[in-house]
Amino acid sequence: MNIPDSSLPLLKRLRLQIRNRTNMINEPDRKKVERQARHTPSPFWVIVHKELGDHIHSWRFGILVGIVVLACIGSIYSAVIALQQGTGNSDSENYLFLKMFTASDGTLPNFITFVSFLGPLIGIALGFDAVNTERTKGTLSRMLSQPLYRDDFITAKFTAALLLVALVIFSLGFSVMGLGLFTIGYPPTPEEFGRVVIFLLTAVIYVGFWLNLSLYFSVRFRQAATSALSGIALWLFFTVFYSLIVNLLAKSFEPGEQAGTSQILSYQQTLLFINRLSPAELFTEATTTLLVPEVRSLGPLTMEQVIGAIPSPLPLGQSLLLIWPHLTGLIAAASLAFALTYALFMRQEIRSRS
């Protein structure tokens, strides 16, 4: 059918009116859909909230946190007794608030020792069955069949566990600070507060390294018992046996009595480097430097370097410069462990249970 040329503008106007009316009808629906999309949480945060709830309500986490809290209460009590016995000592009056974390009367280890020894157990307990249990139950394939990316799944597992670790460590640290306020009677200085906060952040990074290792074993092994034993064995090796092995090996290449200063310094630096390959050693040196400002060096010093030095505490900035390599090493180790876990999980084949 031929349409006259005079009616073309009329047809255009009709089409334009129909399009406008259609847009007016669909505009509320489109705004409603956009509003729902904005308020709908992403799958990443849904998994994070779910994992946080599962961890908090599990008996395993409650028992482990209870053991850590009881151990830390014992160390705090030991520190309070030590401070009361050393009240008249002039050395104990400097940075008295920090001594709540480092002092001990000899009956129990201090707070740093308990955190460095029991903190990795929290990370191992939160991550050793994070993936292989989902695979064994058959829920992993069902979750990934939904509109959920693989990297969101493994990253959400790590994020939820790390948030819980940070919550536990900061709660313990601030509880010690509150008890220090009650015991000592005056608040900490800004420098002391900054040192405690950085110490707690360092503890979170250290526990995060063990969390990433346990996640790696959970992805690598299909049985939860195997991944748990692997994480505990590695923790025992670095915490207990590594220093013993290094001391035994150090006897074999120890310089003789006639060795010069350069040989002795080279031997001490090599021994120090080998010791610092352990994350536990890095954490111990970093936290000791933070909470004991009197520590001015972490390596061997010659007599020329000692003569003329003023024995005064280091400010916070200088202490941070001193432990910056340790913090970098802990962050790099935790990042490397997570990268290995991420790469292995992304390359694995996930099948549904038959």
Q: How far is CA 94 from CA 172, 291, 294, in A?
A: 23, 12, 10
Instruction: Render pLDDT for 291-350 as a digit per residue (tens, 0 to 9).
Output: 888 877 776 655 554 455 566 788 888 889 989 999 999 999 999 999 999 999 888 877
What angle, rounded to 10 degrees, do the helices at 43-56 and 150-184 form?
A: 50
Instruction: Please determine, for residue 3, whether its predicted confidence score (pLDDT) is greater than 50.
Output: no
Q: What is the pLDDT of residue 85?
A: 73
**Is the residue at 24 inside a domain?**
no
Percent helix, strand and coil across the chain, each rounded to 5? 75, 0, 25
Q: Which residue has the higher pLDDT, 140 or 239?
A: 239
What angle, rounded to 10 degrees, do the helices at 150-184 and 190-220 form?
A: 150
CB 118 within 8 A of CB 67: yes
* Domain span holding position 160: 41-299+312-347
Global pTM reads 0.83
Q: Per-residue confidence at 1, pLDDT binned at 50, 70, 90?
A: very low
**Is the residue at 26 inside a domain?**
no
**Is the residue at 189 inside a domain?**
yes
How many domains is the chain partitioned into structurally?
1
Backbone angle region of 299, left / alpha / beta, with phi > 0 → left and psi within -120 to 50 → alpha? beta
CB 180 within 8 A of CB 76: no
- Provide the sign of the torsion angle of the four alpha carbons 125, 126, 132, 134, taken in this order: positive
**Is the residue at 33 inside a domain?**
no
Running DSSP on this structure, what letter comes out for residue 351? -
Instruction: Please determine, for residue 189, whether its predicted confidence score (pLDDT) is greater than 60.
Output: yes
**Is the residue at 20 inside a domain?**
no
**Is the residue at 231 inside a domain?**
yes
Average predicted confidence (pLDDT) for the chain: 79
Instruction: Render pLDDT for 136-181 as a digit per residue (tens, 0 to 9).
Output: 887 777 877 777 788 888 899 999 999 999 999 998 888 888 887 8
**Is the residue at 1 inside a domain?**
no
Instruction: Please determine, for residue 285, whether its predicted confidence score (pLDDT) is greater than 70.
Output: yes
**Is the residue at 46 inside a domain?**
yes
